[in-house]
A and B are shown apart, each in its own frame.
Chain A
Amino acid sequence: MLKITNYKNKIIFLSVIWILLLIAVSIWSVFTGQYPLTIKGLLDGDKMMLMVFFRLRLPRVIMGIIGGFGLSIAGYVYQLVFKNPLASPDIAGVSSGASAGAAFAIVAVSASAPFISICAFAGGLIALSITLLTAYAVPGKNKYTIILTGIAIHSVAQTILMFLKLAADPEKQLASIEYWIMGSLNGISIDSIAIPFFITFIGFFIILLLYRQILILSINEDEAASLGVNVTIFRFIILITATLIVSSIICVTGLISFIGLIAPHIARLLTGRNDRFTYISSGFAGTIIMTLSDIFARSLSSSELPVSIFTSVIGAPLLIILLIKSNKKEDL
């Protein structure tokens, strides 16, 4: 078996693997779906095929790539900043806030997709703002203050969600809420991908630029302060960037579980480090899991299945295999 000892070679090897895998799953995804698309039909300019391809299929593939990438890099940042392997964007109550926002839209106003997205985005931001403001108002604050405040806000958002479910019409609104919470790329079209794309793109570079500060923060807060890093401000900027990425994605797709938690671990197990390449690898791992999950969600039956079922089914065994392999290496 090929053994790569030099880290630079490992980076090159993994980069090639990531790119090849991404190309492979993207092509598979582009040619998977209920509408029978053919290369000949597309080249011949079949109007219906072109419409399906450019308006529905391609945006869905792109959303899978953006969604998987964004959720994973956000999860990676959370795990690093909080030095907690179980940390995910849920810690700040964002997912619960977005769910409550979506449920509010469905019950109180309208079940139209753009309105649900706006309310989910607003819900996520409100939850994050309250978490951060409350955390910074607490005397003697540290990174655990945010975690504890996040748990409290998460509970409040869950209570609001429960109340809205109770008020929902069981025949129509309740089903919409449940399905939104399960997450899907079902309703994605060209109109819905612009915001998540730009926010994830900009957020990715902001985090990349601040990567040194994130690493310092993850080692020791006192040391970071002595090195001239304003812990409070940087933590705020980093968390708000990661959370904005998550909000912009889940407001369009609904909740997608597990990717933000599992992809960073997969990347870390492959590189064995916490560097910038691991950060980018985390995004690639998430993208591939998400795209594969969406392929299965839309092709295993005529009706659409929730994508979260497959993110767990694909991600969990992959993580277990990598964990076993890395433990074996340590034993040797």
Chain B
Amino acid sequence: MKLFKKISAVALSMIMLISVTACNSSHSDSNNKNTTENTTSAFEIMSYFNEIGVSYPLTVTDQAGRTVTFDKAPEKIASSYYISTSLLIALGLTDKLVGIEAKANTRNIYKLAAPSAVNLPNMGTAKEFNTEACVAAAPDVVFLPMKLKKAADTLDELGIKAVVVNPEDQSLLKECITLAGKITNTYGRATALNNSIDTFLTSTKNDVADEKAPSVYLAGNSSVLSTAGSHMYQDTLLTNAGGKNVASELTDTYWANVSYEQILTWNPEYIIIAADASYSVDDVLNDANLANCTAIKNKNVVKLPNDTEAWDSPVPGSFLGSIYIAHILHPDKITKDFYESCVTEFYKNFYGFTPSK
């Protein structure tokens, strides 16, 4: 009953958001009426946005400040960044993908949502872009991470339109989703995606707003001694979940290495391990150097789920990481049922598959 109330509340919030958006769009009133009448779940609302069109030629400014003009909606799309690839799948563009980043077969989300994408030509990694493979794939647009800004300029010279994305915090992720939506003529779906994320995050944040924020140490992928400071997306993940990042004093823009002493000084109440970490919860619980840490003594060590995708990276589904952490930190406020239904609804509606529980 509680879960039903919560989902209904979120659904109502979304309907309000839709109303606001619809006022500014070219959508007819009859469509809005249908939206309200047919809604059974918050996420289902997204389907009613699909008809918002984009007019071309379209000029956009990417997240590196570069201006790119599109004469028509791209039919062939490449992505050299797992975050933009996941976003393109969420926007329903799997069939238009002609190339994605290296090591695609290691990402569960592709196997679950877009199995055909795994075998697409390899565009290289975030460090080494494969320009020739990209030229051979002849995409109408290629999405690149900020690290490959130079490659974007090279592609421009070769006549391939490149768009640099940099979703390093929640607002940049939202901007990135909107940008990709406009370019690929899926603006309606992108708006729905953004609204879904906003609504569920706001709901979660409101639910835990009055709770005491426990101190949390987020352990990185490579080692328990690597962590994320305030300039990283992972800090937002913890804050949204009603937690306090003990490493927020760090200003590194990449995973920072700290000492055992530093962790003991921070003495976090919880240790959350990154989804793709190469070590386990037991490794941390059994680490004698951390034995006196409160999180270890209370066995408050959890690893972010990685059966779909790493929610500690700024993929569209990363808000689910906040909901998961909120459930760990405030189980009375964010129930397991709510978290699980969010995951199921999100992937069912935007990625077309139902994750196993």
B-binding residues in A (CB < 8 A):
33-36, 47-48, 51-52, 55-57, 106, 110-113, 169-176, 179, 184, 186-187, 189, 191, 298, 302-304
Contact = CB atoms under 8 A, between A and B. Distances in A.
Given A55-B289, A56-B289, A303 B256 contact: yes
B291 A51 contact: yes
Contact of B292 (A34, A47, A172, A191): A47
Contacts of A302: 247, 249-250, 256, 258, 262
Most chain A C-beta atoms within 10 Å of own C-beta, residue among B254, B260, B289: B260
B259 A34 contact: yes
B265 A55 contact: no
B222 A175 contact: yes
B265 A36 contact: yes
Nearest to A165: B127
A172 B221 contact: yes
Interface stretch (B50-58, B193-201, B275-283): B275-283
A170 B292 contact: no
Contacts of B103: 169
Given A173-B278, A175-B255, A179-B257, A35 B264 contact: yes
Contacts of B277: 172
Given A171-B221, A172-B222, A173-B278, A184 B265 contact: no
Interface size of B as a range: 35 or more
Contact of A189 (B257, B260, B278, B279): B260
Contacts of A189: 260, 288-289
A175 B254 contact: yes
7 contacts: A34-B261, A47-B292, A52-B261, A187-B260, A303-B252, A303-B258, A304-B258
B223 A56 contact: no
B219 to A, nearest CB: 12
Contacts of B256: 302-304
B203 interface: no
B298 to A, nearest CB: 15
A174 B261 CA distance: 25
B125 interface: yes
Nearest to B126: A170
A170 B124 CA distance: 11
Contacts of A112: 278-279, 283
Contacts of A172: 220-222, 276-278
Contacts of A52: 261, 264
Contacts of A298: 259
Contacts of A51: 291-292
Most chain B C-beta atoms within 10 Å of own C-beta, residue among A55, A106, A171: A171
Interface string B291-307: 11000000000000000
A191 B287 CA distance: 11
A294 B223 CA distance: 20
A278 B264 CA distance: 41
Contacts of A33: 259, 261
A184 B127 CA distance: 24
Contacts of B252: 303
Contacts of A175: 221-222, 226, 254-255
Contacts of B262: 34-35, 302, 304
A47 B267 CA distance: 14
Given A34-B265, A110-B278, A186 B283 contact: no
B222 A179 contact: yes
Contacts of B261: 33-35, 52, 56-57
In the A-B complex, list the 9 residue pairs whose CB atoms are closest, starting with the nearest.
A172-B221, A303-B256, A34-B262, A176-B222, A35-B261, A111-B278, A34-B261, A304-B257, A35-B265
B276 A171 contact: yes
A323 B140 CA distance: 62
Contact of B259 (A48, A56, A173, A191): A56
Interface string B123-148: 00111000000000000000000000
Contacts of B254: 175
